């Protein structure tokens, strides 16, 4: 399916790894010009090469801390200056620390809110004037299935990410009809984070092999496997495209059917 994103300009935050990188790759494969960002310059340079190899569009890699509103503003401004506008914003962020409620500090709550919520607030606010000028303006927020069903030991993700869904629902009405706003809810995908967790468990002797660890992650997934990050990226690029022109305010699980709600 041709998503007709050739020449569109897309900005993907926190995109040097994991699901942010997969989203940038999927958009680039569809012909979009893509801006990626991350705090680590070495990882960002590697990601730039990977994304650039995906398609014929241009790639702009900018070091940025998405918990700093000034850096987000500069990120949007440089994207618009380089590509002549902005058509699609994809918000991604690394996961907050795991932990139970009684073990989580007040500082960790504030840091998680800046990372997961305020980064989206700042990015959508700065991007909105440019998205309105586009004929294809869209925002897609990468969250987690934890916004639907709490996950043991992830109190910050469970509680804080739900604010993004409230923001998406609000913006979907306020930004329409000029800009569509949606969210994707990824379940378990074989990202570097899951790879690290499985390998750590393997070192502790909890699994006999890496594959056994992945099987354990997939034990409650009806499709009987974890996802490929590009499967999430494909959903993101679809939501950005005109093929999803009547999809607005949606929170789309991409989890192999694990959610029961």
List pLDDT tens digits, range 144-160.
999 999 999 999 999 99
What average pLDDT does range 108-123 have in this prediction?
A: 98
- pLDDT for 108: 97
Q: How many percent of the chain have pLDDT more than 70?
A: 100
Do 233 and 154 have their domain in common?
yes
Residue 102 has pLDDT above 90, yes or no: yes
The residues pairing with 161 across neighbouring beta strands, listed in sequence order, are none
Is 110 within a domain?
yes
Do 179 and 204 have their domain in common?
no
Do 120 and 176 have their domain in common?
yes
Do 181 and 194 have their domain in common?
no
For 133-145, the pLDDT digits (tens) are 999 999 999 999 9
Using CA atoms of 229, 24, 137, 146 in order, give the dihedral in degrees to the nearest 10: 30
Do 61 and 43 have their domain in common?
yes
- pLDDT for 165: 98
What average pLDDT does range 83-103 have in this prediction?
A: 95
- Distance, CA of 261 to CA of 115 (rounded, Å): 26
- CB neighbours of 239 closer than 8 A, spacing ≥ 6? 138, 140, 180, 182, 184, 247, 250, 252
Residue 98 has pLDDT above 90, yes or no: no
Please, are residues 144 and 116 in contact by the beta-carbon 8 Å criterion? no
Q: What angle do CA 43, 47, 49 make, to 5 degrees?
A: 125
For 188-205, the pLDDT digits (tens) are 999 998 898 889 889 999
End-to-end CA distance of the chain: 30
Do 126 and 15 have their domain in common?
yes
Residue 241 has pLDDT above 80, yes or no: yes
Range of the domain at 112: 9-189+228-254
Is 159 within a domain?
yes
Burial class (CB in 10 A: 0-12, 13-18, 19+), 205: exposed
- pLDDT for 2: 85
Q: What is the CATH classification number for the domain harbouring 140? A: 3.40.50.720
Domain count, the chain: 2
Do 43 and 140 have their domain in common?
yes
Do 185 and 195 have their domain in common?
no
* Structural tokens at position 114: 């800046």
Do 49 and 29 have their domain in common?
yes
The residues pairing with 59 across neighbouring beta strands, listed in sequence order, are 34
Q: At what angle do helices 119-133 and 162-174 cross, to 10 degrees?
A: 20
Please, are residues 10 and 31 in contact by the beta-carbon 8 Å criterion? no
- pLDDT for 159: 97
- pLDDT for 201: 87
Do 212 and 89 have their domain in common?
no
- pLDDT averaged over every residue in the chain: 96
Is 21 within a domain?
yes
Query: pTM for this one?
Result: 0.96
- pLDDT for 1: 72
Do 107 and 197 have their domain in common?
no
Count of beta carbons in the 10 Å neighbourhood of residue 137: 23
């Amino acid at each position: 399916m041709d998503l007709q994103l050739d020449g569109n300009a897309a900005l993907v935050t926190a995109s040097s790894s994991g699901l942010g990188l997969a989203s940038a790759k999927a958009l680039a494969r569809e012909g979009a010009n893509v801006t990626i960002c991350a705090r680590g310059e070495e990882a960002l340079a590697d990601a730039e090469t990977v994304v650039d190899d995906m398609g014929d569009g241009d790639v702009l890699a900018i070091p940025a801390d998405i918990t700093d509103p000034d850096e987000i503003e500069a990120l949007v401004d440089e994207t618009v200056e380089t590509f002549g506008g902005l058509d699609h914003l994809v918000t991604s962020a690394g996961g907050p620390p795991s932990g139970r409620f009684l073990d989580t500090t007040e500082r960790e709550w504030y840091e998680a809110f800046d990372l997961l919520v305020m980064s989206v607030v700042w990015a959508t606010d700065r991007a909105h004037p440019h998205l309105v000028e586009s004929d294809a303006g869209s925002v897609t927020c990468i969250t987690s299935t934890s916004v639907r069903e709490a996950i043991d030991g992830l109190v910050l993700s469970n509680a804080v990410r739900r604010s993004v869904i409230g923001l998406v629902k609000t913006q979907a009405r306020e930004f329409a009809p000029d800009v569509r706003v949606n969210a994707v809810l990824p379940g378990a995908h074989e990202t570097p984070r899951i790879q690290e967790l499985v390998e750590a468990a393997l070192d502790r002797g909890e699994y006999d092999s890496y594959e056994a660890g992945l099987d354990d992650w997939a034990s409650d997934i009806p499709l009987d496997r974890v996802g490929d990050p590009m499967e999430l990226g494909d959903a993101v690029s679809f939501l950005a495209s005109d093929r999803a022109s009547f999809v607005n305010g949606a929170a789309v699980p991409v989890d192999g059917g694990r959610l029961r709600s």
